[in-house]
Structure 1
Amino acid sequence: MRPRIDPDGGLFLTDLINYLEAKHGIRVERLPSEDTPTSGYKWDASEKTLNISRALPITSARFQAARMICRLEAVDAINEVLDRAQITSDSGRARATEALISYCAAALLFPYDSFLEDARTLRHDIELLQQRYSASWEQVCHRLTTLRRPQAEGIPFHLLRTDIAGNISKRFSASGLQLPRYSGACPRWVVHEAYMAPDRVIPQFVRLPDNSEYLFVARALRSGVGGYGIPRSVYSVMIGCDTAFANDVVYADRLSLDRPESAVPVGIGCRQCPREDCGQRAYEMSDTTTQAAQ
């Protein structure tokens, strides 16, 4: 038995639940949020039960079910990748394993060829892709960054996720943009401005000190798996690309990319930025940056 794929929308949660039970004897239970961890899910290997909070959105529940399938069936392929990468530490191998399981789950929910075709047809309209694949904003952004198959490559995107304090929890760059590792991203980046208008999609045209130009798109989101009084997580997800690909991205349509003066002058972070006339500078340039600018 294989999961049934709906050609117009991918896999439904019920398809994944039925497959886990029929193929692996695993029961998926939706439990009250107070009976699940803050992550919203828990795997009980002894009882062969995947517990998922009822407060977890369907898009997240579906992803966790897909991850369970991949954890069970992609282990050999994942170990082969890790062996080739020569990851020797237990902690490093564990983190890499979880990352590859998530990649496999995304590949299951968003089949490469059909997703790439839809992304191109819809001009990378993330909200329309959400509707097409019953997915979350972040899930679609993640999948867009992974379309790097030789001879069938998508746009080289970068992705950044921050919390409201500016801590960076996810980062990936195929666009060539340097991304800070932990925090301190340029305060002019739209990933910060998005918090002022939660759930609104905000595009931005920027220019770096080396005159490279990028299209940024950010959206602030809220998540939580509890009821009243339970703190909710608030974070912003930004995806972007070089403006060379702007004609293929719907979010560039209302930006004046043909007017260089309309670009927002940005840097990577204050300590590395040579812009001396920036009114939002939080730190002076480091000695290394100063010497390089001279």
Structure 2
Amino acid sequence: MGKHFAGARIRTLRRTRNLTQQEMARRLNLSTSYLNQLENDQRPLTVTVLMSLSRHFDVDPAFFSPDHDARTVGELREAFPTVPDTQLADLVARYPELVAEVLQLADRAPSRADDSPYRLVRDFFYEAHNYIHELDTLGEELAGRLGDPQLRLTRLATTLDRDLGVVVRFRRISNGPRRVYHPETRELHLRTGLSEAQLCFELALQYALTGHADLLRELAASLPTEESRGIAVLALAQYFAAAVVMPYEAMLSTAEEVRYDIDRLATHFGTGFETTCHRLSTLNRPGARGVPFFFVRTDRAGNISKRQSATGFHFSRSGGSCPLWVIHRAFETPGRVTRQVAGMPDGRHYLWIASTVRGQAHGFGRPRKEFAVGLGCDLDQAERLVYANGLDLSPASATPIGPGCTACPRERCPQRAFPHAGGRVVVDLDATLDFSYTTY
């Protein structure tokens, strides 16, 4: 195994904790000169020092891995498409503060397609590794007080009334929103046709918005705009609700027992495929982590409406997603789980699974919402999943995918829709190709 240098990561960790080299060295029981050599990549990071860093500063060892920078490298690739990945990776590792400034400038560019409050909230959850400890533990504590799952719905309604003065009215809405809260009467009206787990989720969501309003606003306070803070408050309340319906320890132990079989987990907790997948992507509690997943939801047109990543998978912010990605094939077999071993241009490989989900029926002749939901993990984690059974997990078998045509360097891809941004376009007037960007 080659030597691994992590000087920039160690320096970033030290600065975020407002420590001098002497103070950090004392905590790690190292000499100041040795720490200085580590920070300047004159010494490789040893396993002993890595474990000491993780233990004393409560950080995931993956923070010091090159994979931690995969997403940032992908974003830089969109801004500088002609620069080799090796140079971008070196820039990210050595100058993380400079790279952050560069990406902020790129985000403010007029051409940025996804410069929205939703992107700000996605980035907020990414920086938190898609895990919010305060809310997760509060949700788990409430679930413990509610007791037996068979009684949780009535007990949760009683808890809302007793603790917060909110009266729950079931089956008060025939169509439209699942939940409508009336502050003037402190009544919560719920839509008919919801499952028990969906009703519990909506009650827990209201519990968070009413009983933990100050905490939600405090957690969202770092976001820069009023719109993004509003979206974050709702997303954080939804996070709390998921922690009530699928408590962390119970979810993790059951997931490990069934090898992350989503259908079995959904049956156990009474939840849907999408909600179960989303919760699996949040199992990132220090000292009790599950498989680090990437979660995504898209429609038939390829519009990604949800995406969460606790690790390094890079979702393109512009230019669409790769048509060879399994998430698009899921629409060919509705309701069935489709699997794919996939390889990205940077040499990383993943196991992806995807399936379609459908919204509520609104009557004859009216269309239903339909999405494909995908869950992915690094290939070295694949054996922990039941979905690896019978698959060739070697990198050689992987389907080559990319972050989207304009950011993807695969020049010979048969599905390329647009040329690589920043690349030179050559027109051959002496040959007719099977596909051209300019012909009909």
The alpha-carbon deviation at position 282 of structure 1 amounts to 0.9
Are residues 1:149 and 2:285 paired? yes
Which is further off, 40-49 or 124-133?
A: 40-49
Residue matched to 2:199? 61
* 2:380 pairs with 1:244: yes
Give matches, 1:1-294, under 5 Å. 4-6=146-148, 9=149, 12-23=152-163, 24-34=165-175, 37=176, 39-83=177-221, 86-181=222-317, 184-224=320-360, 226-258=362-394, 260-287=395-422
Distance in 2 separating the partners of 1:102 and 1:128: 22
CA contact 1:160–1:238 (8 Å) conserved in 2: yes
Percent identity (aligned): 37
Q: Partners in 1 of 2:220 and 2:273 — Cα distance?
A: 29
Q: Distance in 2 between matches of 1:115 and 1:146?
A: 11
Q: Tell me the amino acid that sits aligned with residue 93 of structure 1.
A: R
Q: CA RMSD in A?
A: 2.2
Question: Structure 2: which amino acid aligns with 1:212?
Answer: R
User: Residue 189 of structure 2 aligns to a residue in which SS?
Assistant: strand
Contact 2:173 2:189 in 1 (8 A): no
Conserved in 2, the CA contact under 8 Å of 1:166 and 1:183? Answer: no
> Which deviations, in whole Å up to 9, do the C-alpha atoms of 1:193-227 show, x marking residues without a partner?
10111111111111112221101010111102522
CA distance in 1, matches of 2:277, 2:357: 13
Q: Which amino acid aligns with 1:233?
A: K
Shift in Å at residue 62 of structure 1?
2.5
Whole-Å Cα distance in 1 between the matches of residues 302 and 424 of structure 2? 22
Larger radius of gyration: 2
CA 58–183 in structure 1, closer or farther in 2 if over 3 Å, else same? farther
Please say if residues 180 and 269 of structure 1, whose CA atoms lie closer than 8 Å, have aligned partners that are also in contact. Answer: yes
Shift of 1:284: 1.2
- Aligned mates of 1:59, 1:25 — CA distance in 2: 19
| Structure 1: tracts of 5 or more residues without a match | none
1:49 CA displacement: 2.1
Deviation at 1:144, TM superposition (A): 1.0
Verify the 8 A CA contact 1:116 1:154 in the aligned structure 2.
Answer: yes
Following superposition, which runs of at least 4 residues in structure 1 exceed 6 angstroms of deviation? none
Structure 1 equivalent of residue 113 of structure 2: none
Change (3 A) 1:33 1:240: same
Q: Contact 2:170 / 2:192 at 8 angstroms: preserved in 1?
A: no
Q: Deviations over 1:161-199 (max 9, x none)?
A: 111111111011123110123661100111111011111
Separation in structure 1 between the aligned mates of residue 366 and residue 318 of structure 2, nearest angstrom: 26
**Bigger fraction of residues in helix:** 2
Deviations 1:41-83 (A, max 9, x none): 3222223222222134443332111101111222232233234
Q: State the TM-score, normalizing by the size of structure 1.
A: 0.88
- SS of 1:287's equivalent? coil
Larger proportion of strand: 1
Distance between the aligned counterparts of 2:268 and 2:161, measured in 1?
A: 26
Residue identity matched to 1:271: T
Distance 1:281 1:82 in 2: 39
Determine if contact 1:33/1:40 at 8 Å carries over to the other structure.
no
Distance verdict in 2 for CA 1:268–1:10, change over 3 Å: farther
**In structure 2, how many angstroms separate the alpha carbons of the residues matched to 1:273 and 1:205?**
18
Measured after TM superposition, the shift of residue 27 of structure 1 is 1.9
Show the counterpart of 2:59. none
**Counterparts of 1:52 and 1:181, CA distance in 2:** 35
Distance in 2, matches of 1:158 and 1:143, equals: 11
Letter in 2 for 1:20: L
Unmatched tracts of structure 2, length 5 or more: 1-141, 426-440
SS in 2 for 1:277: coil
C-alpha displacement of 1:32: 4.9
